[in-house]
Amino acid sequence: MASSSTTTKSLLSSTFSASKSSSSTVTKASLLSLLRSTSATPISQKLSHSHNSRHHYYSVSPIKNVLKTATESETSLSKYPDVDLVSSDSKPTILVSEKLGSAGIELLKGFGDVDCSYNLSPEQLCEKISRCDALIVRSGTKVTREVFEAAKGRLKVVGRAGVGIDNVDLQAATEFGCLVVNAPTANTVAAAEHGIALLAAMARNVSQADASMKSVKGPLEEKNLTLWDGCEFAGKWERNKYVGVSMVGKTVAVMGFGKVGSEVARRAKGLGMNVIAHDPYAPADRARAIGVELVSFEQAIATADFISLHMPLIPTTSKIFNDQTFSKMKKGVRIVNVARGGVIDEDALVRALDSGIVAQAALDVFIEEPPQTDSKLIQHHNVTVTPHLGASTKEAQEGVAIEIAEAVVGALKGELSATAVNAPMVPPEILFELAPYVVLAEKLGRLAVQLVAGGSGIKSIKVTYRSARDPDDLDTRLLRAMITKGIIEPISSSFVNLVNADFTAKQKGLRISEERMVVDANPEFPVDSIQVQISNVDSKFASAVSENGDVSIEGKVKFGVPHLTCLGSFGVDVSLEGNLILCRQVDQPGMIGKVGNILGEQNVNVSFMSVGRTVRRNKAIMAIGVDEEPNKDALNKIGQVPAIEEFVFLKL
Ligand X SMILES: NC(=O)c1ccc[n+]([C@@H]2O[C@H](COP(=O)([O-])OP(=O)(O)OC[C@H]3O[C@@H](n4cnc5c(N)ncnc54)[C@H](O)[C@@H]3O)[C@@H](O)[C@H]2O)c1
Q: Find the catalytic residue in 138, 154, 160, 388.
A: 388
* Partner from ligand X, ligand 3PG, none binding residue 526, C-beta < 5-8 Å depending on class: none
Site string (116-155) toward ligand X, x via CB under 6 A: ----------------------------------------
* Partner from ligand 3PG, ligand X, none binding residue 575, C-beta < 5-8 Å depending on class: none
Nearest residue to ligand 3PG, scored by beta-carbon proximity: 162
* Partner from ligand 3PG, ligand X, none binding residue 81, C-beta < 5-8 Å depending on class: none
Task: State the nearest-atom distance from the C-beta of 392 to ligand 3PG, in Å.
Answer: 6
- Report the 10 Å Cβ neighbour count for 590: 9
Nearest residue to ligand X, scored by beta-carbon proximity: 258
Q: Find the catalytic residue in 55, 56, 154, 340.
A: 340
21 vs 393, beta carbon nearer ligand 3PG: 393
Alpha-carbon distance of 484 to 70, in angstroms, equals 16
- Is 540 a binding residue for ligand 3PG by CB under 6 A? The answer is no
At residue 191, what is the residue type?
A
- Is 364 a binding residue for ligand X by CB under 6 A? The answer is yes
Task: State the nearest-atom distance from the C-beta of 571 to ligand 3PG, in Å.
Answer: 56
- Is 139 a binding residue for ligand 3PG by CB under 6 A? The answer is yes
Helix boundaries (H) for 522-631:
591-601
Tell me, yes or no, if 381 is annotated catalytic. Answer: no
Tell me, yes or no, if 388 is annotated catalytic. Answer: yes
Q: Find the catalytic residue in 106, 123, 298, 369.
A: 369
* Partner from ligand 3PG, ligand X, none binding residue 138, C-beta < 5-8 Å depending on class: ligand 3PG
- Is 533 a binding residue for ligand X by CB under 6 A? The answer is no
Give the neighbor-by-neighbor strand order of the sheet with 579-586.
606-613, 619-626, 579-586, 644-651
DSSP 386: -
Q: How far is CA 248 from the centre of its chain?
A: 44
Whether omega for the bond prior to residue 219 falls within 30 degrees of 0, making it cis, is no
DSSP 435: H
Q: Which residue in the set 101, 112, 258, 390 belongs to the binding site for ligand 3PG (CB under 6 A)?
A: 390
DSSP 144: -
How would you write 51-72 as a 3-class SS string? CCCCCCCCCCCCCCCCCCCCCC
Q: Which residue in the set 4, 41, 317, 360 belongs to the binding site for ligand X (CB under 6 A)?
A: 317
Alpha-carbon torsion, ordered 195, 200, 205, 210, to 10 deg? -80
* Partner from ligand 3PG, ligand X, none binding residue 161, C-beta < 5-8 Å depending on class: ligand 3PG
The b/e string for 499-531 (b: 16+ C-beta within 10 A; e otherwise) is bbbbbbbebbebebebebeeeeeeeebbbbbbb
Alpha-carbon distance of 338 to 341, in angstroms, equals 8
Question: Residue 269 in contact with residue 276, Cβ under 8 Å?
Answer: no
Q: Which residue in the set 18, 163, 173, 309 belongs to the binding site for ligand 3PG (CB under 6 A)?
A: 163
Best CA proximity match to 425, nearest among 381, 463, 365, 478: 478
Question: Residue 495 in contact with residue 41, Cβ under 8 Å?
Answer: yes
Task: State the nearest-atom distance from the C-beta of 410 to ligand X, in Å.
Answer: 20
- Is 187 a binding residue for ligand 3PG by CB under 6 A? The answer is yes
259 vs 462, beta carbon nearer ligand 3PG: 259
DSSP, collapsed to helix, strand or coil, labels residue 578 as: coil
- Is 265 a binding residue for ligand X by CB under 6 A? The answer is no
Question: Residue 646 in contact with residue 584, Cβ under 8 Å?
Answer: yes
Alpha-carbon distance of 251 to 272, in angstroms, equals 10
Task: State the nearest-atom distance from the C-beta of 281 to ligand 3PG, in Å.
Answer: 18
Which residues, in sequence order, are CB contacts of 640 under 8 Å at separation 6+? Answer: none
Alpha-carbon torsion, ordered 612, 618, 624, 629, to 10 deg? -140
Task: State the nearest-atom distance from the C-beta of 201 to ligand X, in Å.
Answer: 15
Segment (H or E) for 462: strand 460-467
DSSP, collapsed to helix, strand or coil, labels residue 417 as: coil
DSSP assignment of 254-322, as one string?
A: EES-SHHHHHHHHHHHHTT-EEEEE-TTS-HHHHHHTT-EE--HHHHHHH-SEEEE-----TTTTT-BS
Region binding ligand X by CB under 6 A among candidate stretches 226-234, 276-284, 486-494, 539-547: 276-284
DSSP, collapsed to helix, strand or coil, labels residue 397 as: helix
- Is 301 a binding residue for ligand X by CB under 6 A? The answer is no
Q: Which residue in the set 11, 100, 151, 163 belongs to the binding site for ligand X (CB under 6 A)?
A: 163
Q: Which residue in the set 51, 64, 204, 259 belongs to the binding site for ligand X (CB under 6 A)?
A: 259
Q: Which residue in the set 40, 161, 199, 201 belongs to the binding site for ligand 3PG (CB under 6 A)?
A: 161
Site string (215-254) toward ligand X, x via CB under 6 A: ----------------------------------------
Q: Which residue in the set 150, 276, 339, 501 belongs to the binding site for ligand X (CB under 6 A)?
A: 339
Q: Which residue in the set 282, 409, 448, 620 belongs to the binding site for ligand X (CB under 6 A)?
A: 282
Residues that contact ligand 3PG, how many (by CB under 6 A): 12
Q: How far is CA 526 from the centre of its chain?
A: 24
Interaction residues for ligand X, span 377-416 (CB under 6 A): 388, 390-391
Instruction: List C-alpha distances in Å: 81 to 43, 53, 84, 307.
Output: 18, 8, 8, 57
Task: State the nearest-atom distance from the C-beta of 43 to ligand 3PG, in Å.
Answer: 32
Task: State the nearest-atom distance from the C-beta of 119 to ligand 3PG, in Å.
Answer: 14
Q: Which residue in the set 196, 260, 294, 440 belongs to the binding site for ligand X (CB under 6 A)?
A: 260
Question: Residue 80 in contact with residue 67, Cβ under 8 Å?
Answer: no
Task: State the nearest-atom distance from the C-beta of 472 to ligand X, in Å.
Answer: 24
Burial of 222: CB neighbours in 10 Å, binned 0-12, 13-18, 19+: exposed
Q: Which residue in the set 28, 55, 56, 138 belongs to the binding site for ligand 3PG (CB under 6 A)?
A: 138
Task: State the nearest-atom distance from the C-beta of 146 to ligand 3PG, in Å.
Answer: 21
Tell me, yes or no, if 340 is annotated catalytic. Answer: yes
Task: List, by residue number, the catalytic residues.
Answer: 340, 369, 388
Residues in contact with ligand 3PG by the rule CB under 6 A: 138-140, 161-164, 187, 388, 390-392
Residues in contact with ligand X by the rule CB under 6 A: 163-164, 184, 187-188, 191, 255-261, 278-282, 310-313, 316-317, 338-340, 364-365, 388, 390-391
